[in-house]
């Protein structure tokens, strides 16, 4: 699992410190500035949106709250690159919004009236934040639900109003949850390739890509990739610290259920307006855009175009989810043991989530090729038969990269579930004479079932959305929905890809709803 | 714990088998293609090839990274033919030992300057890197490459990322023509004349000319034809109609920079014979006519003429800088783009 990272580190070291286009590259300062700016902007905006939304749905009662409770997770189904294409299509000069502005103002060119440029740095921050705030929302929401209602109740009995309670009690207390949520969002920012390329932002990932592809400079790309791993490591440390702090803060006192305060008047209107606008902007707009574009060209050809990649994508996602959850379960079980090397190994293995798909593909292409050649050498010698590229030229490479990239998702979900479950039930089972398979089937599986399902659905969504690694590692003739949409969008034919894009979002929605439902049940 | 170990083992074995179940691609009657070119442009050609020869084509399209992949796959690679969109990847493939000589005599149909001396690659079509200027806001009918570095173009230029193969080709040709120092000066001035940091592909330029955010876009010729005839996305017709093409020259009289899309046959091609048949077909009058009439490129075979639409844009006088010379300066060009931080947009 740690293979790509170690391989890249090796390549980075052997290519020399002054490798041209590598660490010494003059684009590195710009890449760091752009990546840092993007992370800070998205962290702040997505964090704020997620926090406020979570605070509203967990602390207050207002019309539509039950719907918003899970619907606010929906933007998670829209990959960042799709969001970038959709918002550009909508808000660019030739899009419907500016057409309306021109019709109203009588303007002819963009110099005749003011309109923000969507394909810009601030445009990117807004687009990223709109589809990534659910990470902050989910973390804060779960935290609020687990939190005792007593601190808020205490603040209110001491005379603080809703706003004051929010700023003096809720906000400081929920800092760890915000940190967890925003770091996840920032990791997505670092990982993204499609959107930053489309917006013309020189992020680290974009620079790595062009160093490798446009300059054919593997060593330099590897050096940059190692830089990115360091950035990620910082994020992970922040996330870990957040989680640790979270664990120490006021565990829920089961006797005091957090009561939701019914809102009235202006508060009610504000709460409903905030949630409605957020959902409309983050999900309604891009989803509606796709629906409109797809419905305009509902032809047999567009279905034919979509059908085969859809089957491929779902198959890959199912296999990948199964594999990744199985490995995650194994790792989570090992991680609970006392062995320190095991924990270190798991940390290395789960680092994959934070590493851009481009970087993983970079680190996998060569070693898989070597392994294939070695394998074929062996079989040729033993059986006079060569199976071909069984690793790098088949879906094995894809499943492998998915497992690396999303192991952290399944591992952390299962790890948390196991820690919460504790050992007592397993011990009870052992005392009653159950062992091995029996213990696994009768105690492990049933008690972990919701977590296993949640982990599998999360991985499933991620694989459907995954673009950069799939693009570089897919076998001959394999086209997924994501690669199809990318190819079309990059040749300015996005509307033709509306139906497959819609399929990505729809496939992602089902598990989002499922996962949201499951997590809604958890705290009870 | 042993259960989950076993589970992982079983799954790993299952995926290995899934890998084995993928059909071997080295079969007669097939040819495997890795294509840098967009499928929409290349598929009609391949369909025609299959219809005529009965040889099935399997295509993997990726805008980037195919050479890296061929290299990693080594002697087990299933690929027979790689289609590229610029000269750099053709000479790059030969330099990295990924190609083998093309054996079909059809390669002689293109002039010697459009094929490798060892026949390791061949150009299939040519495209010029030209200026698209606003019909409304630009009055000039002729421009030199040097002109767009002048202060009157401040805030009026646009193009895609400087390190994209198309712009690298243009910059590399300037290095051959002018030397490194003059090119650096020119590129820095062009960077400072940009209306915004480079984004998108070649079609964004004309789109932004329509929008009024830019007056001159550095774009390849054939996009004009592709956009004017784009019935799938009719709004692109408006983009194209906002602009007209100027074939730029150099102040010293040198002509317009030309790049080539081409093909090479992979060193370990399992279907080398079919690969040669495909190259032969792509060099036939019929296929060359398709390049000209459907993709609005300049055919590499001189006896086939460009489409009437292409000819209506003016007369192309190609630069004397050869494809091989352009390829030789690629690394310097890329280093210059980095050094000047071209992709970060205007600085002064």
Task: Give percent above pLDDT 90 in chain B.
Answer: 66
* Tokens describing residue B263: 């093909």
Residue A50: the pLDDT is 93
Q: Does residue A212 fall inside a structural domain?
A: yes
- Answer whether B78 sits within 8 Å of A210, measured CB to CB: no
The pLDDT assigned to B36 comes to: 86
Q: Do residue B72 and residue A368 have CB atoms under 8 angstroms apart?
A: yes
Cβ of A198 within 8 Å of Cβ of B200? The answer is yes
Query: Which residues sit opposite B194 in a β-bridge?
Result: B157
Closest CA relative to residue A406, chosen from A328, A474, A315, A344: A328
Among B88, B162, B180, B174, CA closest to B337: B162
Count CB pairs under 8 A between chains A and B: 201
At B206 the three-state DSSP class reads helix
Residue A206 domain flag: yes
Residue A6 lies in a domain: no
Q: What average pLDDT values come out for chain A (524 residues) when binned by 10 residues? A: 70 56 64 90 93 89 88 88 87 80 79 77 92 89 74 75 76 78 85 84 83 72 77 76 66 58 85 93 91 82 81 92 89 68 66 75 80 77 71 82 85 77 77 78 77 83 86 81 83 77 85 67 44
The pLDDT value recorded for residue A127 is 94
Place of tokens 């939701």: A260
Question: Is B178 in a helix, a strand, or coil?
Answer: helix
Does A30 sit within 8 Å of B38, measured CB to CB?
no
Q: Which of B42, B204, B343 is most worth mutating to test chain A (most A CB atoms within 10 A of its CB)?
A: B343
Q: Give the total number of structural domains in chain A.
A: 2
Q: Phi and psi for A477 in degrees, rounded to 5?
A: 85, -5
Task: Find the CB nearest B4 among A322, A333, A396.
Answer: A333
Min Cα distance B245 → chain A (Å) is 20
Domain B28-126+259-306: which CATH number of 3.40.190.10, 3.40.50.620, 3.40.718.10, 3.30.70.940: 3.40.190.10
Q: How far apart are CA B288 and CA B124, in angstroms?
A: 8
Report residue B211 CA to chain centroid gap: 26
d(CA B101, CA A390): 28
Helix (H, G, I), strand (E, B) or coil at B126: strand
CA distance A316 to A502: 18
Contact in structure between B83 and B42 (CB atoms under 8 Å): yes
> How far off is chain A from B24, nearest CA to CA, in Å?
7
Pair A106, A153 in one domain: yes
Task: Assess whether pLDDT exceeds 90 at residue B180.
Answer: yes
Determine the Cα–Cα distance for residues A408 and A388; give it in Å rounded to an integer: 31
Is B225's pLDDT higher than 80?
yes
> Distance, in angstroms, between A392 CA and closest chain B CA?
7
Residues A437 and A307 in one domain: yes
> Strand, helix or coil at B137?
coil
Give the end-to-end CA distance of chain B in Å, rounded to a whole number.
64
Nearest C-alpha neighbor of A200 from the set B165, B38, B344, B215: B344
Q: Is A159 exposed, middle or buried (0-12, 13-18, 19+ CB in 10 A)?
A: exposed
Residues A226 and A336 in one domain: no
* A156: DSSP letter: H
| Domain final residue, candidates A296, A315, A333 | A296
Kindly list the domain boundaries of chain B, sorted by start residue.
28-126+259-306, 127-257+312-344
pLDDT band at B302 (very low <50, low <70, confident <90, very high): very high
What is the predicted pLDDT for the residue at A176? 76
Q: Are residues A472 and A387 in the same domain?
A: yes
Nearest Cβ partner for A26 among B59, B71, B341: B341
Instruction: Output the six-digit token pair for A292.
Output: 């409109």
What torsion do the CA atoms of B258, B262, B267, B270 make, to the nearest 10 degrees?
A: 170
pLDDT tens per residue across span A81-98: 889 888 888 887 777 888
Which neighbouring-strand residues pair with B126? Answer: B260, B298
For residue A491, give the nearest of A78, A83, A85 by alpha carbon.
A85
**Torsion over CA of A195, B130, B279 and B47, rounded to 10 degrees?**
60
The nearest alpha carbon in chain B to A196 belongs to B199
| Cβ density class A48-78: b for 16+ within 10 Å, e for less | ebbbbbbbbbbbbebeebeebbbbbbbbbbb
**Residue A282 sits in the same domain as residue A305:** no
Put simply, the answer to whether A390 touches B239 (Cβ < 8 Å) is no
Residue A487: per-residue pLDDT: 80
Domain B127-257+312-344, architecture per CATH: 3-Layer(aba) Sandwich (3.40)
| Closest CA–CA distance from residue A521 to any residue of chain B (Å) | 27
Q: Are strands B81-84 and B258-266 parallel, antiparallel or unpaired?
A: antiparallel
Residue with more model confidence, B25 or A446: A446
A288 part of a folded domain? yes
For residue A11, tell me if it sits in a domain.
no
For residues A303 and A276, membership in a common domain is answered with no
User: How far away is chain B from the Cα of A183, in angstroms, using its nearest Cα?
Assistant: 26
A440 with A467, same domain? Answer: yes
- pLDDT given at position A521: 52
C-alpha distances out from residue A111 to A62, A233, A463, B208, Å: 44, 44, 42, 11
Predicted pLDDT at B160: 92
Distance between CA atoms of residues A356 and A107, nearest Å: 42
Are A7 and A367 spatial neighbours (Cβ–Cβ below 8 Å)? yes
pLDDT, residue A524, reads 36
The answer to whether A192 and A80 have CB atoms below 8 angstroms apart is yes
Q: Which residue of A has its CA nearest to B334?
A: A215
| CB-based contact A320:A406 (threshold 8 Å) | yes
Question: B22, A475: Cβ pair inside 8 Å?
Answer: yes
Reported ipTM: the value is 0.71
Point out which residues pair with B298 in neighbouring strands.
B126
- Could you list the residue range(s) of the whole structural domain that residue A325 is in? 299-524
Adjacent-strand bridge partners of B122: B115, B263
Q: State residue A60 phi and psi, 5-degree precision.
A: -130, 160
Whether A105 and A200 map to the same domain: the answer is: yes
What does the alpha-carbon distance between residue A148 and residue A158 come to, in Å, rounded to a whole number? 17
Report the residue of B338, B339, B345 to disrupt the A interface, i.e. the one with the largest count of A CBs within 10 Å. B338
Number of helical (H) and strand (E) elements in chain A, helices listed first? 25, 2
A356 plus A303 within the same structural domain: yes
Residue A522: the pLDDT is 46
Q: Quickly count: other Cβ atoms within 10 Å of residue B43's Cβ.
A: 15
Residue carrying the six token digits 């198959």: A315
Q: Which one of B9, B11, B70, B187 makes the best mutation probe of the A interface by having the most chain A beta carbons within 10 Å? A: B11
**CATH code, domain carrying A242:** 1.10.3720.10
Q: Which residue has the tokens 């006519």?
A: B289
Assign residue A436 a region (left: φ > 0; alpha: ψ between -120 and 50; beta: otherwise).
left
> How many CA atoms are closer than 13 Å to the CA of B202, on its beta-carbon side?
22
Separation between Cα atoms, residue A358 and residue B64, nearest integer Å: 12
Q: Where does B163-238 show beta strands of DSSP type E?
A: 216-220
Q: How far is CA B9 from the centre of its chain?
A: 45
Q: Is the overall model pTM greater than 0.90, yes or no?
A: no
| A281 and A317 assigned to the same domain | no
Contact (CB, 8 A) for B213 and B195:
yes
- Write down which residue in A296, A324, A339 finishes a domain: A296
Subunit contact A213:B65, Cβ cutoff 8 A: yes
Residues on chain A touching B341 (C-beta within 8 angstroms): 26-27, 30
- Same topology between domain B28-126+259-306 and domain B127-257+312-344: yes
Q: What share of chain A is helix, strand, coil (3-state, %, to 5)?
A: 75, 0, 20
What HEC string does A165-191 produce?
Answer: HHHHHHHHHCHHHHHHHHHHHHHHHHH
Which chain B residues touch A476 with a CB distance below 8 Å?
25, 32, 34, 58-60, 78-79
Give the minimum alpha-carbon distance from A303 to chain B in angstroms, rounded to a whole number.
15
Contact yes or no for B327/A14 (Cβ under 8 A): no
Residue A13 lies in a domain: no
Q: Which of A112, A388, A496 is the closest to B76 by Cβ? A: A388
| Same domain assignment for residues A387 and A520 | yes
For strand A60-61 and strand A261-262, is the pairing parallel, antiparallel, or unpaired? parallel
Instruction: Identify any residues that bridge with B34 across adjacent strands, giving them in sequence order.
Output: B60, B82
Query: Residues B324-341: pLDDT tens digits?
Result: 999 999 889 988 998 898
Last residue of a domain, one of A280, A296, A312: A296
Dist CA B130 CA B195 (whole Å):
18
- Which chain A residues contact residue B19 at CB under 8 A? 390-391, 394-396
Determine, yes or no, domain membership for A153: yes
Residue with tokens 């040198």: B254
Round to whole Å and give the CA distance between A103 and A90. 16
Residues of B in Cβ contact (< 8 Å) with A444: 3
DSSP assignment letter at B307: P
Check CB contact under 8 Å for A200 and B161.
Answer: yes
Nearest chain B residue (CA) to A376:
B76
């Amino acid at each position: 699992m740690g293979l790509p990272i170690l391989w890249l580190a090796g390549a980075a070291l052997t290519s020399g410190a002054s490798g041209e286009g590598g660490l010494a590259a003059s684009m590195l300062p710009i890449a760091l500035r752009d990546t840092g700016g993007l992370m800070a902007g998205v962290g702040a905006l997505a964090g704020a949106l997620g926090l406020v939304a979570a605070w509203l749905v967990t602390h207050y009662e207002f019309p539509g709250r039950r719907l918003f409770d899970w619907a606010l997770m929906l933007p998670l189904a829209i990959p960042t690159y799709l969001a970038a294409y959709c918002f550009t299509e909508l808000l660019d000069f030739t899009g419907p919004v500016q057409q309306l502005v021109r019709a109203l103002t009588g303007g002819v060119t963009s110099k005749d009236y003011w309109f923000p440029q969507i394909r810009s740095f601030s445009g990117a921050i807004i687009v990223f934040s709109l589809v990534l705030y659910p990470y902050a929302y989910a973390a804060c929401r779960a935290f609020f639900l687990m939190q005792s209602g007593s601190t808020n109740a205490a603040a209110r009995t001491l005379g603080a109003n809703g706003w004051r309670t929010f700023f003096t009690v809720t906000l400081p207390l929920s800092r760890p949850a915000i940190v967890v949520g925003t770091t996840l969002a920032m990791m997505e920012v670092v990982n993204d390739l499609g959107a930053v390329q489309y917006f013309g932002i020189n992020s680290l990932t974009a620079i790595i890509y062009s160093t490798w592809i446009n300059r054919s400079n593997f060593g330099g790309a590897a050096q940059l990739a190692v830089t990115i791993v360091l950035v990620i490591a910082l994020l992970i440390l922040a996330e870990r610290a957040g989680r640790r702090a979270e664990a120490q803060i006021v565990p829920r006192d089961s006797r005091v259920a957090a009561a939701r305060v019914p809102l009235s008047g202006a508060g009610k209107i504000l709460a409903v307006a905030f949630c409605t606008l957020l959902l409309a902007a983050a999900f309604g707009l891009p989803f509606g855009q796709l629906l409109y574009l797809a419905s305009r060209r509902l032809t047999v050809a567009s279905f034919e175009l979509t059908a085969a990649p859809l089957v491929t994508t779902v198959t890959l996602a199912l296999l990948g989810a199964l594999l990744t959850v199985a490995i995650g379960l194994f790792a989570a079980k090992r991680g609970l043991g006392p062995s320190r090397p095991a924990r270190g190994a798991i940390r290395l293995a789960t680092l994959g989530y934070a590493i851009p798909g481009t970087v993983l593909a970079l680190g996998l292409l060569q070693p898989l090729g070597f392994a294939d050649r070695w394998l074929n050498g062996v079989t040729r010698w033993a059986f006079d038969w060569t199976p071909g590229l069984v690793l790098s030229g088949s879906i094995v490479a894809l499943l492998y990269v998915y497992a690396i990239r999303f192991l952290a998702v399944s591992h952390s979900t299962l790890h948390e579930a196991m820690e919460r479950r504790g050992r007592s039930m397993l011990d009870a089972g052992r005392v009653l004479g159950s062992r091995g398979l029996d213990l696994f089937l009768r105690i492990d599986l049933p008690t972990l079932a919701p977590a296993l399902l949640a982990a599998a659905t999360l991985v499933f969504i991620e694989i459907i959305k995954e673009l950069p690694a799939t693009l570089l590692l897919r076998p001959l003739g394999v086209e997924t929905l994501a690669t199809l949409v990318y190819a079309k969008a990059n040749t300015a034919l996005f509307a033709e890809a509306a139906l497959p894009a819609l399929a990505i979002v729809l496939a992602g929605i089902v598990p989002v709803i499922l996962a949201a439902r499951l997590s809604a049940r958890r705290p009870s | 714990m042993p259960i989950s170990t076993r589970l992982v083992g079983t799954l790993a074995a299952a995926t290995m088998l899934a890998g084995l179940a993928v059909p071997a691609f080295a079969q007669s009657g097939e040819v495997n293609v890795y294509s840098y070119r967009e499928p929409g442009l290349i598929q009609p050609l391949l369909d025609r090839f299959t219809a005529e020869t009965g040889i099935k084509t399997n295509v993997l399209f990726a805008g980037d990274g195919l050479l890296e992949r061929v290299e990693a796959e080594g002697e087990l690679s299933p690929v027979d033919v790689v289609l590229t969109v610029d000269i750099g990847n053709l000479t790059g493939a030969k330099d990295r030992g990924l190609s083998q000589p093309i054996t079909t005599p059809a390669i002689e149909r293109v002039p010697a300057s459009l094929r490798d001396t060892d026949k390791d690659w061949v150009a299939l079509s040519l495209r010029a890197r030209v200026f698209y200027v606003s019909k409304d806001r630009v009055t000039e009918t002729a421009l030199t490459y040097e002109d767009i570095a002048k202060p009157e173009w401040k805030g009026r230029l646009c193009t895609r990322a400087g390190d994209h193969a198309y712009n690298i080709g243009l910059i590399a040709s300037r290095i051959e023509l002018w030397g490194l120092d003059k090119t650096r000066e020119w590129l820095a001035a062009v960077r400072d004349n940009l209306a915004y940091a480079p984004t998108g592909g070649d079609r964004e330029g004309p789109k932004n000319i329509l929008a009024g955010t830019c007056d001159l876009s550095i774009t390849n010729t054939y996009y004009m034809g592709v956009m004017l005839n784009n019935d799938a996305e009719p709004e692109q017709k408006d983009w194209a109609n906002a602009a007209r093409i100027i074939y730029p020259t150099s102040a010293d009289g040198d002509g317009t920079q030309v790049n080539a899309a081409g093909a090479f046959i992979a060193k370990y091609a399992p279907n080398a014979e079919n690969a040669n048949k495909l190259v032969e077909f792509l060099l036939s009058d019929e296929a060359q006519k398709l390049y000209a009439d459907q993709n609005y490129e300049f055919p590499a075979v001189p006896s086939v003429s460009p489409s009437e639409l292409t000819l209506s844009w003016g007369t192309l006088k190609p630069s004397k800088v050869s494809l091989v010379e352009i390829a030789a300066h690629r690394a310097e060009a890329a280093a210059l783009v980095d050094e000047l931080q071209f992709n970060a947009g205007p600085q002064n």
